[in-house]
Amino acid sequence: MKTFLTFIFVFGLIVLIHEFGHFILAKRGGILVREFSIGMGPKLFYHRHNGTTYTVRLLPVGGYVRMAGEGEDETDLSPGMPLSLELNDQGEVIKINPTKKVHLPNSIPVELISCDLVDELYIKGYENGDETKEKTYPVNHDATIIEEDGIETQIAPRDVQFQSASLSRRIMTNFAGPLNNFLLAIILFMIVAFMSGGTYTSDPSNTIGAVIENGAAHEVGVKPGDKIISVNEVKTPSYEDIVKNVSSNLGNSVPVVVENDKGEQRSLTLTPKKSDDDPNRGVIGVQMNTIFEPLSFMGKIKYGFTETANNSLMIFKALGDLITGFSLNKLGGPVMIFKMSESVSNSGIIAILSFTAMLSVNLGIMNLIPLPGLDGGKLALNAVEGVRGKPLSQEKEVMITMVGVVILVGLMVAVTWNDIHRFFIQ
């Protein structure tokens, strides 16, 4: 349960903050946000305020923002469909109900002939199904429509659609999600610094900071403060050298030379075990030595920015490594996040906040990759529009986005299956 709650907190927070960035910039730019959802899947309840329907859904993982003009916005209304219409005192349609799941009191039943809810804003139909009573109803600009799942959302006239906003507004709205992830990381790293009173700086030397119980190193008597001089007869002057030589020897007995704090050396033999994070990698159950550095008030503020920058550089380095040698094992999805949540959930709130900040930076950068379907892909299309002086046709944008979505979904499925296989099947 602790792992599950940690996963929900971490994954939910970074996605919600990301979507809130899109939400707030869209609202400020005059773009209609039809729905802001907390969670995914079937709705539990909803509330409408200021043109936006706020929903809480069953699966408490992340959320999304549905802006007018992006994707399929409207419930499909076709000729012959029975509707019930609610009118205001001026005779304008203020609520459209095409579903039988919801009953509107004091509404007018209409058999639809034609309608336009984008430009001309009208509904033409036979009142009470009587073909001798054809009538055209003006539709209020802020009218709502009840969707198939019973949620009431606002219609999307042309002037409040995403594509009607200026190019600069659309760029800011697309960039706001990743920006919010960076801001979240900065704030969380600051909180970590204030909670701990300072920061722990990693010691890159071969001095061991901690030895994990029941790990390979613990079983042969390695203690915190010991130095690992060599692994498999290869000198290891840094912690990175230790990791490199151990990881490639999963399941193999390797000779190790260890030196204690008195300078006494001893030769040991240990067998690297399977890593929890990557079953193809060997580990001996040691952790890097860290040095605590107290920070001033301004130092703690600065730490939020510097640690976010350091994590960004690490992610860019990992992306470069992925390009030069692609492997699904270098990627991770929700399953990997769940497994990592299992580790940090037992390490206290500071570890959880640091983990959340790191993942927030990761999500921000990954979303800026210029692939269709990601925010970076949308920004790339914005750049093309800026150069051309006009946007691509809607058909081309939809086609490009669909190709990107298919690629992303395929990659997500492959990564998820690979994570399930290496963590639960092997």
Boundary-marking domain end, from 248, 265, 288: 288
Boundary-marking domain end, from 262, 288, 314: 288
Position 405 pLDDT exceeds 70: yes
Is the domain of 414 the same as that of 318?
yes
Active site residue 19: yes
DSSP 223: -
Position 71 pLDDT exceeds 80: no
Q: Quick one: which H or E segment has residue 12? A: helix 2-28
Give the pLDDT confidence score for residue 118 in this predicted structure.
92
CATH label of the domain that carries residue 256 = 2.30.42.10
66 found inside a domain: no
Q: Quick one: which H or E segment has residue 247? A: helix 239-247
Catalytic residue among 19, 35, 111, 307: 19
Is the domain of 329 the same as that of 418?
yes
8 found inside a domain: no
pLDDT digits over 289-341, tens only?
Answer: 888 889 999 999 999 999 999 999 988 888 887 777 777 666 777 777 777 78
Specify the residue for token string 């900071």: 209
Predicted model pTM:
0.78
Count of CB atoms situated within 10 Å of the CB of 1: 6
Closest to 424 measured CA to CA, from 303, 356, 342: 342
7 found inside a domain: no
Structural domain for 323, as ranges? 192-198+298-425
Give the pLDDT confidence score for residue 75 in this predicted structure.
67
Is the domain of 272 the same as that of 309?
no
- Over residues 255-275, the mean pLDDT reads 91
Is the domain of 325 the same as that of 417?
yes
- Do the strands 93-97 and 134-146 form a parallel or antiparallel pair, or are they unpaired? parallel
Closest to 211 measured CA to CA, from 260, 152, 161, 280: 260
Q: How many domains does the chain have?
A: 3
